[in-house]
Amino acid sequence: MHILLGVSSGIAIYKAVDLVSKLRKENYQIDVIMSENASKLISPTVFSAVGNCNVYTNTFDLNNGWIIHTELSQKADVFVLAPATANSIAKIAAGLADNLLTTIALAIPNKTPKILVPTMNTRMYENPITKRNINILKDNGWYVIEPEEGLLACGEIGKGRYPENQKIVETIKFLTAPKILKDKKVLITAGPTRENIDPIRYISNYSSGKMGYSIAKVAKRLGAYTCLISGPTCLEKPFLIDEFVNVESAQEMYEKVLEKFSNFDIIIMTAAVADFKIKNTSANKIKKENFNFILELERTVDILSELGKIKRKNQILVGFAAETENVIEYGKEKLVKKNADFIIANNAKEVMGKDFTKVYVISKEKILEVEGSKEKVAAEIFKIIV
Ligand SMILES: Cc1cc2nc3c(=O)[nH]c(=O)nc-3n(C[C@H](O)[C@H](O)[C@H](O)COP(=O)(O)O)c2cc1C
């Protein structure tokens, strides 16, 4: 996959160097086009070294008749303009082609996804002329990632900040993935739950939420309307998903899932829901002097089982089984007991909290082993389900 990155002379240009680094780590092939003004802020050498790529700045730097703007614009699978200055946006909106960057922007085929990352001083951004220009690009099929609010390089506070590069990478993935889940609605749970002992203590588990968040990101990428119900995690809310709900306890998660369940086609229960909650929860902090306090446990609601009882024929119910022994055997038992369509079984001791995983996708018909990054495994799971 080839990414053509246009860079204009916004002060956030140093963040575009990190973008190139991230794109390289994702194994994208990259070419960079800089406006002449951008090359006054940062040397093209920096982009070239970090991205292991060619950097072009001059329309007329022909190499043996190889015309840069016509060749590169055709080669690109995605064109990203980040940071996009008010000036370059205005020129592209007006159809000007007075440097290599704007010439390429004009030559990019209509079908090629184009991502605009406007960053500038708030007054420049809020100016109706800039707004109009951005809207012209939107109307011409550009995908615009809105700038964020906060402290700007000029010292002012407002809207205009460069977004997290991860958002740009996620948008590239979203715009280029096959839409095998188009018109489908996917409901996912993720993370651990917390069961209170008293107002400041709880019992929980080591689930990081990474698998569920990866599944949510990939579901969105593949075209699904995506809702993620998450227990407490340290992860960022996935950028593009349609609904995100935070819950704490198993009971809260159950209630939220139940509220949504009937509206979804594929339901994937990744969360490590606590099996037990505290029966004798204390309304006030238990004092340490009270050292012989005994915690009494009781079962929480079994969300997957409850859903297995009410699921319709046209719904696909997927459960996860985090086991520490007899992974496949317990997974097979769970498939039948919970009336699920698939159980994704894994060895929690090996994969909990990690970025990589190895799972067994168990259905009535077969067992498939899938291994790799959690995002890769999520994509494989959807291929199998579809
Ligand atoms: C230090 C500095 C920072 C700038 N930051 C921005 C910016 O963040 N956004 C913007 O639209 N223009 C910014 N400008 C103004 C642009 O560089 C200027 O409009 C330039 O003509 C744009 O040229 P280009 O679009 O061809 O790169 C900045 C200028 C300087 C000197």
- pLDDT of res. 292: 85
For the sheet with 114-118, list strands across it: 54-56, 29-34, 2-7, 78-84, 114-118, 142-144
Q: What is the mean pLDDT of residues 91-101?
A: 98
Closest residue (by CA) to atom 14 of ligand 1?
10
Cα(275) to centroid(ligand 1), Å? 56
Percent of the chain past pLDDT 90, that is, above it, reads 91
pLDDT band at 188 (very low <50, low <70, confident <90, very high): very high
Residue 262 CA to residue 190 CA, distance in Å, equals 19
Active site residue 234: no
Q: How many angstroms separate the alpha carbon of residue 329 from the centre of ligand 1?
A: 62
Task: Decide if pLDDT at 62 tops 90.
Answer: no
The ligand 1 atom at the shortest distance from the C-alpha of residue 99 is 26
Ligand 1: residue of 39, 85, 120 to mutate (most ligand atoms within 8 A of CB) is 85
Is 293's pLDDT higher than 90? no
Measure the CA–CA gap between 95 and 34, rounded to whole angstroms: 18
Ligand 1 pocket test, pick from 87, 89, 124, 133 with the greatest ligand atom count within 8 Å of Cβ, gives 87
Which atom of ligand 1 lies nearest, measured to the CA of 124? 11
- State the pLDDT confidence band at 304, using cuts at 50, 70 and 90: very high
CB proximity list for 86: less than 8 A, separation 6 or greater: 118, 120, 124, 125, 127, 130, 133
Give the mean model confidence (pLDDT) for residues 230-259: 97
- pTM as predicted: 0.92
Could you read off the pLDDT of 205-223 as tens digits, one per residue? 999 999 999 999 999 999 9
Atom 28 of ligand 1, residue of closest alpha carbon? 10
> From the CA of 85, how far away is ligand 1's center (Å)?
6
Mean pLDDT for all residues in the chain:
96
Residue ranges and CATH numbers for the domains of the chain are 2-176 (3.40.50.1950), 185-385 (3.40.50.10300)
10: its two tokens = 């916004």
Q: Are 345 and 358 in contact (CB under 8 A)?
A: no
Q: What percent of the chain has pLDDT over 70?
A: 100
CA of 63 to the centre of ligand 1 (A): 29
Using CA positions, which residue lies closest to atom 21 of ligand 1?
87
Q: Give every CB contact of residue 381 below 8 A, 6+ residues apart in sequence.
A: 215, 268, 318, 342, 344, 359, 361, 370
Residue 109 Cα to ligand 1 middle (Å): 27
**From ligand 1's centre to the CA of 254, what distance in Å?**
51
- Contact residues of ligand 1, CB 6 A cut-off: 8-12, 35, 37-38, 85-88, 119-120, 124
Nearest atom in ligand 1 to 86's CA: 11
Taking the C-alpha atoms of residue 217 and residue 104, their distance in angstroms, rounded to an integer, is 31
Query: What is the reported pLDDT for 290?
Result: 80
Q: How far apart are CA 102 and CA 59, in angstroms?
A: 10
Please give the full DSSP string across 31-61, using - where no structure is assigned. Answer: EEEE-TTHHHHS-HHHHHHHHTSEEE--TT-
SS3 label, residue 197: strand
Q: Whose CA is nearest to atom 16 of ligand 1?
A: 9
Q: Count of H helices and E strands in the chain?
A: 15, 20
Q: Which of 233, 181, 226, 183 is nearest to 207 (CA)?
A: 233
Quick check: 115 and 106 in contact, CB under 8 A?
no
